[in-house]
Amino acid sequence: MKEDSDDTMRKRRISLVDGRYLIFYTFDREDASSEANVGEQPPAPERLPQREENSRV
């Protein structure tokens, strides 16, 4: 059985010998350029003050 979920992802569903299903997902190549720009770090904060509570055992 074949089902399409989105433009570049393909699903192929099979039955295993014990009746369970297994689905292979495959992907067409696409331009991965995106709005994604992860890795940006926030400005380094000031050093945290030491707190007595932190020495709790």
Partner 1 sequence: MSELRWNPLLGEWVATAAQRQDRTFLPPEDFCPLCPTETGGFPTEVPESDYDIVVFENRFPSLRSNPEIPAVEATDLYPVRPAQGVCEVIVYSPNHNSSLARESVEQIYKLVRVWTDRFRELGSLDFVDYVFIFENKGEQIGVTLHHPHGQIYAYPFIPPRIERELEQATEHRCRTGRCLFCDVIVEERRERRRIVAENNSFIAIVPFFSRWPYETHIYSTRHFQSLTDMSSGEQKDLAAVLKVVLAAFDKLFNISFPYMMCMHQRPVDDGSYDHYHFHIEFYPPLRTANKLKYLAGSETGAGMFINDTLPEEKAAELRSHVEPVAWVEAKNG
Q: Is 28 in the site for partner 1 (CB under 8 A)?
A: no
**Cα gap 22→25, rounded to integer Å:** 10
Q: Is 2 in the site for partner 1 (CB under 8 A)?
A: no
Least distance from C-beta 17 to partner 1, angstroms? 9
Could you give the count of Cα atoms lying within 13 Å of 51 in the half-sphere of its Cβ? 5
Q: Is 22 in the site for partner 1 (CB under 8 A)?
A: yes
Residues at the contact surface with partner 1, assessed by CB under 8 A: 5-6, 9, 11, 14, 16, 18, 20-27, 29-45, 48, 51, 54, 56
